[in-house]
Chain A
Amino acid sequence: MDFSLTDQQRAFKERFERICREHIAPHARDADRTGSLPQHTWRTLSEAGYFQLFHPEELGGSAADGVTLGIAMEALGQACASTLWSATISTGLCGKLLWNQCRPTHHRQWLAPILRGEKIGCVAGNERNAGSDQRSFLTKVRRVGPGRYLINGEKLRISNGPIADVAVVFAQLEESEGLSFAVVDLHHPGVKRSSIEHLGLRAMPWGTLTFEDVELSEEDVIQGSSPDKILRSIEWGLLFQCFCSIGLASAALEAGIDYAQTRRAFGRPIAHLQTVHSRLADMHVEIDAARLLSLEAASMMARGEVAGELVMMAKIHASEMAVRAADAAMRIFAGWGYSTDFVVERLYRDSLGHISGGQTTDRLRELVISPDVHVNPWEYEPFDWLSPAGLSVP
């Protein structure tokens, strides 16, 4: 059991944190205001080697270990959460699905350019009326001729949707059991997109993808993979949110420390008030706990293992504690926390998106505990809640 960094990890941390500090963080505020990332972002991250961290060397990746990945994601999340989201949805979630589920042609056509920062990927799962209940997704792929398929449906709340070049789409393949994927070139006619305005992570494009008779080749339809294999990819969506939350919370803690040391009231810095101590201490404890668990999950996943309940628990804790941390920072800043002149209100808005991002923490709680108590998390029995409480309407 050891918790220290190797020399290599330490060197990477210094270098990558400097890049984030110098090239990403200074633009975060404007990005949030305008709702778009600066032009140079993708090139900066590509040159920094960010996209490559997630993938094997045979693909042009750098096969980073879990701790290095965690360091990178936390640093980027601390600098600009929207940037971390957009970049990692592309390489870390879409990229992982392309690598683990899809074919060599997809690796050449889409994944290699994603690693170079030349193309942007997204994952289209959620629909208008379905998120957690993936079994009721309506988007359909049907075969219309030899080697020819059509995809029809609507996907909403899709990160990177408005700007992506390719989407890995969750769809129901006619006459097939289980979840299938369609790799869709989003520049095809028949694909329509629009943006959804959102409270935080505002520079991370978020929107709707509509597929109207979009044609797919046989190659682009990937049938019913095993749930375990799918999980190995989907988990990356949870993992990066852990580190984004940790980054946001760390930014909130640093801002709180700095403000407490400089803001004076009643003749001394407010750092001397015990309520301020309490807030800063709780933030630190929760961040440390989140980081330890997330790095453990990252280490497993980088080795190709399924982290399972570990990464789900990490996401539950990290996302919820980041909101608490941002709230604590807002209270330390008091009135100034409410102003857009200071970073804390953006940290707060950004943190909120992680509770429901990917899988909601409510849903993840069910997924974590159901196996322990032999309950099926896909079936909810009808139950008359009123009668036992004596409240039923006659």
Chain B
Amino acid sequence: MDFALAETHERARDTACAFGRRAIAPTAAARDREQRWEPGLFLEMGAEGLLGAPFPPRYGGRGNSAFETVLLQEGFGEGSEDAGIALAWGTHTFLCGVPIWMLGTEAQRQRYLPPMCTGSWIGGYAASEPTAGSEPTAIRTRAVKRGDRWILDGSKTWVTNGPIGHHFLVTAQTDPERGAAGIAVFIVEPGFPGVRVGRRIETLGLRTAMISELVFEGCEVPEENRLGAADGGERAVGPLIARWERTCLFAHWLGFMKAARERCTQWATERLQFGRPISHFQAVRTTLVDMKISHTLARRLSYRAAVSLDQMAAHVDRDAAVAKLYLSESAQKTIRGALQLHGAHGLVADQPLERAYRDATALTIAAGSSELLRSVIAGSLLHLG
């Protein structure tokens, strides 16, 4: 076992933090208030090497391990103050890019990955439907083969990057009689005939990300856009996405937790009441130390999950679920505690803490709800089929 962080890794994390602070944070409050997407920022993230981090250099990526990518996310989270754009990045890279990289044909990789690495093409993942969330196989979108094309009918919701995406991985039922085994994954571009980007969905938080529905009405998808080989469908994509989203998608919240702690430490030493800094009150110190402990633990669980993913260790799926469950719940507690510590100041709009508080609510809902993850972890312990 080796718990040390190499100097190169620390530097990469710090660089991502500095980039976030310089390029993203200054406009975060305004973009959150106006619910505005700024395309130039994604291109800057591409140039910085963030978007293509895990992909091989021959596709324009940096060849980073999952662990190194988690560190980049962590640094970016600390500096950017923008969980929405971090989610846009994660969706693009982990939920769209990784399946294309790992399960796509060489032609698909060569077409989609290089522009995804630069950010000129934005990707997304369209699986959830009004009737299918935690149960991804309960989808109703159908794909029927006609000649050399597939015809898709149905609708998807909660599609992060929906309004701005160039292409999406779309799950559709090709063979209802085979259930989950009869679900295929298609790379669908809004430019294809029969695709409509639906209404943008306004949400409580993550308002700097763009989320919408996608509607398919006789949408024509060429056979070469079916992801990977004949059996590269949902059965392969589902578990792959699960372990990457649970390990990496919200890793930037490690950085958010660090930023919140630092803000609170500074506040506690500067804010005076009753003639002394509020750090002199034990209740304040208790909040601070519990934030410190959970941040310390969350880091280690997330790093362990990332290393498990890189090594495809025996319990990779369970480790991912454990990391996501702990990170999501402790990040919410930490941000809530930070808000509390700041008193009424924490409630003021356009401030990082108030925004982080709204952004954090999605953590226990997306990428495996807490309820689902507890059953996934228990299922692994109990060997439940």
Contact = CB atoms under 8 A, between A and B. Distances in A.
Interface of A: 1-5, 67, 253, 257, 260-261, 271-272, 274, 276-278, 280-282, 284-285, 288-289, 292-293, 295-296, 299, 310, 313, 316-317, 365-366, 368-370, 372-375, 381, 383, 388
Interface of B: 1-5, 9, 67, 265, 268-269, 274, 276-277, 279-280, 282, 285-286, 288-290, 292-293, 296-297, 300-301, 303-304, 307-308, 311, 313, 322, 325-326, 371, 373-375, 377-379, 381-382, 384
B3 A299 contact: yes
Contacts of B311: 4
Interface centre among A281, A299, A383 (most CB of B within 10 A): A281
A375 B377 contact: no
Interface centre among A260, A278, A368, A373 (most CB of B within 10 A): A373
Given A67-B1, A375-B279, A280 B377 contact: yes
30 contacts: A1-B67, A1-B307, A2-B1, A4-B1, A4-B311, A5-B1, A253-B381, A274-B371, A274-B374, A277-B375, A277-B379, A280-B382, A281-B373, A281-B378, A282-B374, A284-B381, A288-B304, A289-B301, A296-B300, A299-B1, A299-B3, A313-B292, A316-B289, A317-B297, A366-B282, A369-B288, A373-B265, A374-B279, A375-B279, A375-B285
Nearest to B288: A369
Nearest to B300: A292
A284 B378 CA distance: 9
Given A1-B307, A374-B269, A285 B288 contact: no
A373 B377 contact: no
A200 B5 CA distance: 40
Given A271-B384, A281-B378, A299-B1, A292 B301 contact: yes
A293 B300 contact: yes
A253 B371 CA distance: 19
A280 B381 contact: yes
Interface SS majority for chain A: helix
A372 B286 contact: no
A360 B173 CA distance: 58
B374 A281 contact: yes
Contact of B374 (A278, A366, A369, A383): A278
Given A281-B325, A285-B325, A3 B304 contact: yes
Contact of B286 (A261, A293, A365, A388): A365
Given A281-B325, A285-B325, A313-B293, A276 B378 contact: yes
6 tightest CB-CB pairs across the interface, nearest first?
A277-B378, A373-B279, A281-B377, A369-B289, A281-B374, A289-B297
B273 to A, nearest CB: 9
Contacts of B9: 1
Given A261-B382, A288-B301, A388-B274, 10 more contacts: A67-B1, A274-B374, A277-B374, A277-B379, A281-B325, A281-B374, A281-B377, A282-B374, A284-B377, A381-B280
